[in-house]
Structure 1
Amino acid sequence: MKPLPFKVPKNTKESFRVQEDSGKHLYDTLHQHKEWQVMSIEEGEGTVIVGDYLGEFKVGDLFVIGENMPHVFRNDSRYYEEESELKAKAVSVYFDKDSFGKEFFQLPEMYGLLELMRRSSRGIRILNEDIKVSVSKKLKELYLMNGMMKTITLLDILHQLTECTEIEYLASSNNLSFENEVESKRMDKIFKFTIEEYHRPISLQEIADKSNMTPNAFCRYFKKRTQKTYVTFLNEVRIGQACKILLEENRTVTEVCYHVGFSNLSNFNRKFKQFTGLTPTQYIQKHKVALQI
């Protein structure tokens, strides 16, 4: 996709950028930039979109986003409530192919780093707990550093990431693109509307109207640009929210079913198993046992 181009602020005295984002919520517009991004979630949770991937993010998560890969981290709706005291915080480092010199990545010793960059072209989530903790700590140290140690620490971070084999690939492809900024804004509007309104019925006519299209044209448009139907995307959002509620709130499966926008329990159970591989009850049992270990 080619969402809103995002220029990472960088002064003439730095070859890469370390940035701390802190506030009521994270930057919530679908965007892309030419830099690779290593991002640690320090506070907050919500929905992450990377290319055609949709999932959840939470405290402790560590992501590597490749160059020009569309992405957005949108906090849950409660972070946007006027009286909310919730906070969101992330620390990121941005670097590009020239950050260490034009020939740096051609060095034979950098093969592992080139492989990391190739893998991250689809966006990856780091799953190794030790590496997540270590990299998060070093990113926070990096934010306060200057001079040579800053570069050495970044290389240490990247070395740890090249050694990590426990990863989750996010987008299905690195070739997802929009044709212009108008399409970018349109898709961002679709994503935001769906994430905010998933809990109620959304007809194809309504979402098509939001995009100034007929329902048939909208369906073709959405499928071409995300590799999935809009109904599939909507169900992904609903099931993702259902997973969170089942573990965090004391609600029955039936209550959760209707709360996230499904109109009958059998369809909810079927879609839940389709997306998670488990029934809602099995999902609760598996994750609550894991939390007790």
Structure 2
Amino acid sequence: MKKPLLFKIPSSEKESFRVQYEDQPYFYDPLHFHPELQLTYILESNGTFFIGDNIKNFKAGDILLIGANLTHVFRNDKLYYEDSNEEVRAKAISVFFTETSFGADFFELPEAAKIKDLIKKSGRGLKITGETRDLIAPLLETLKDLEGFFRIIKMLEILNLIAENLESDVEYLSSLSYSKFLKESDSKKINDVFEYVMQNFSENIKLSDVADIANMSVTSFCRYFKLRTRKTFSLFLNEIRVGHACKLLKENKYNISEICYECGFNNISNFNRQFKAITNYTPTEYKKKFNY
């Protein structure tokens, strides 16, 4: 198992910040952090992200800003790891930059005050939504093809658009109380548990098994997990299972009963109850609403 350590972003003397286009079977999936801020636009793929102490599903179209040294991972769904599955790809545009990428004192300029505030607040991890997301998505696609000074101008335009709409089109991810500098032992425990769940959520997962992975008693593990993720382990597991069920419902290849057991639920009534608690729809309503 890889340890979630400092991740080194490749750099070049010819660029002040890095724009990276990814097209892979799946995203880099150990829990990690790096001193650069990361602005990521998911072009294709879905799965679950862990940013700070927030765990949620991600999908194509999502744009996220991750602050410096904030622990994170984008873990693709199970089907992305199947050697026989060549139909799905993990594609994204990511920009890696620091507070000094545009000059040591650039963000001290009064005109850059809002972007400086954005950088500070990115320490919690931000999801860009609404009209702002719609505006910056094509700009990010343009950015990957630009060079030189034009690329700097476009990047500042993107950051300014987010900063100008920080109160209306931004969702904060990690809690205010979260410490982004996790001890290595803490990160490894969370990473090991996360990895185990993503590989085995369709099976019967016992709390005692997961507690053993973390080398803790069940009681200590439950307290530990909630403190670091703001949710119980059972809710986390159900969210992963329901997220997978939503994708299977969209594919329209299986009936609801088959999906129930494929996702690790042991009976239909529990599946329906958990599905509605998390999505506000029953599986049948979900299919109808989204025309599947």
TM interval, shorter chain, is: 0.7 to 0.9
Aligned residue in 2 for 1:5: 6
Report 1:258-269 matches (<5 A). 258-269=261-272
Alpha-carbon distance, 1:134 to partner: 4.6
CA contact (8 A) 2:70 2:181 kept: no
Alpha-carbon distance in 1 for matches of 2:18, 2:61: 21
CA contact (8 A) 1:41 1:91 kept: yes
Alpha-carbon distance in 1 for matches of 2:180, 2:157: 32
Aligned residue in 1 for 2:94: 92
For the residue of structure 2 that corresponds to 1:32, the secondary structure is coil
Compute the TM-score of the two structures, normalised by the length of structure 2. Answer: 0.88
Alpha-carbon distance in 2 for matches of 1:176, 1:244: 33
Return the match for 1:286 from 285, 289, 292: 289
Between 1:118-127 and 1:17-26, the stretch displaced more is 118-127
Alpha-carbon distance in 2 for matches of 1:257, 1:178: 38
Between 1:261-270 and 1:136-145, the stretch displaced more is 136-145
Note if 1:193 corresponds to 2:175.
Answer: no
For the residue of structure 2 that corresponds to 1:153, the secondary structure is helix
For the residue of structure 2 that corresponds to 1:4, the secondary structure is coil
Aligned residue in 1 for 2:255: 252
Alpha-carbon distance, 1:272 to partner: 2.0
Aligned residue in 2 for 1:231: 234
Question: Any gaps of 5 or more consecutive residues in structure 1?
Answer: none
Alpha-carbon distance, 1:216 to partner: 2.6
For the residue of structure 2 that corresponds to 1:90, the secondary structure is strand
**1:162-184 CA deviation, whole Å, 9 max, x = no partner?**
24433333223362446422332
Between 1:244-253 and 1:222-231, the stretch displaced more is 244-253
Return the match for 1:102 from 90, 97, 104: 104
Aligned residue in 1 for 2:277: 274
Alpha-carbon distance, 1:114 to partner: 2.8
Question: Over aligned residue pairs, what C-alpha RMSD do you find?
Answer: 2.4
Aligned residue in 1 for 2:48: 47
CA contact (8 A) 1:6 1:33 kept: yes
Compute the TM-score of the two structures, normalised by the length of structure 1. Answer: 0.87
Alpha-carbon distance in 2 for matches of 1:191, 1:265: 25
Alpha-carbon distance in 2 for matches of 1:33, 1:278: 38
Alpha-carbon distance in 2 for matches of 1:173, 1:261: 33
For the residue of structure 1 that corresponds to 2:249, the secondary structure is helix
Percent of aligned pairs with the same amino acid: 44
Alpha-carbon distance, 1:203 to partner: 0.4
Alpha-carbon distance in 1 for matches of 2:275, 2:117: 35
CA contact (8 A) 1:69 1:174 kept: no
Question: Any gaps of 5 or more consecutive residues in structure 2?
Answer: none
CA contact (8 A) 2:53 2:178 kept: no
Alpha-carbon distance in 2 for matches of 1:6, 1:18: 16
Note if 1:120 corresponds to 2:100.
Answer: no
